[in-house]
Chains A and B, each alone.
Chain A
Amino acid sequence: EVQLEQSGAEVKKPGESLRLSCKVSGYTFINSWIIWVRQVPGRGLEYMGRIDPSDSYTNYSPAFRGHVTISSDKSISTAYLEWRSLKASDTAIYYCAREDMNYFDPWGQGTLVTVSS
Chain B
Amino acid sequence: QSVLTQPPSVSGAPGQRVTISCTGTSSNIGATYDVHWYQQLPGTAPKLLIYGNNNRPSGVPDRFSGSRSGTSASLAITGLQAEDEADYYCQSYDNSLSGWLFGGGTKLTVL
CB within 8 Å of B: which residues of A?
35, 37, 44-47, 50, 59, 61-62, 95, 97, 101-110
Residues of B in contact (CB 8 Å), total 26
List 17 other contacts, CB 8 Å, given A44-B105, A102-B36, A104-B36. Answer: A44-B102, A45-B38, A47-B99, A47-B102, A50-B100, A61-B99, A95-B46, A97-B46, A102-B100, A103-B36, A104-B38, A104-B46, A104-B91, A105-B51, A105-B57, A107-B46, A107-B47
Q: How far is the CA of A77 from the CA of B108 in the complex (A)?
A: 36
A39 to chain B, nearest CB (A): 9
| Complex A-B: 10 CB contacts under 8 Å | A45-B89, A47-B100, A47-B101, A47-B102, A61-B99, A101-B52, A102-B93, A103-B91, A105-B51, A107-B45
Q: Rank and list the top 10 A-B pairs by shortest CB-CB distance, nearest first.
A: A105-B48, A44-B105, A103-B36, A107-B45, A45-B102, A103-B51, A47-B100, A44-B104, A110-B45, A45-B89
Query: Do the beta carbons of A61 and B97 come within 8 Å of each other?
Result: yes
Residue numbers in A under 8 Å from B48 (CB-CB): 103-106
B44-98 residues with Cβ-Cβ distance < 8 A to A are: 45-48, 51-52, 57, 87, 89, 91, 93, 97-98
Residue numbers in B under 8 Å from A59 (CB-CB): 98-99
Residue numbers in A under 8 Å from B34 (CB-CB): 102-103
Most interface-central of B45, B48, B52, B87 (chain A CB within 10 A): B45
Q: How far is the CA of A17 from the CA of B89 in the complex (A)?
A: 31
Residue numbers in A under 8 Å from B33 (CB-CB): 102
Closest-by-CB residue of A relative to B57 is: A105
Residue numbers in A under 8 Å from B46 (CB-CB): 37, 45, 95, 97, 104, 107
Q: How far is the CA of A13 from the CA of B89 in the complex (A)?
A: 31
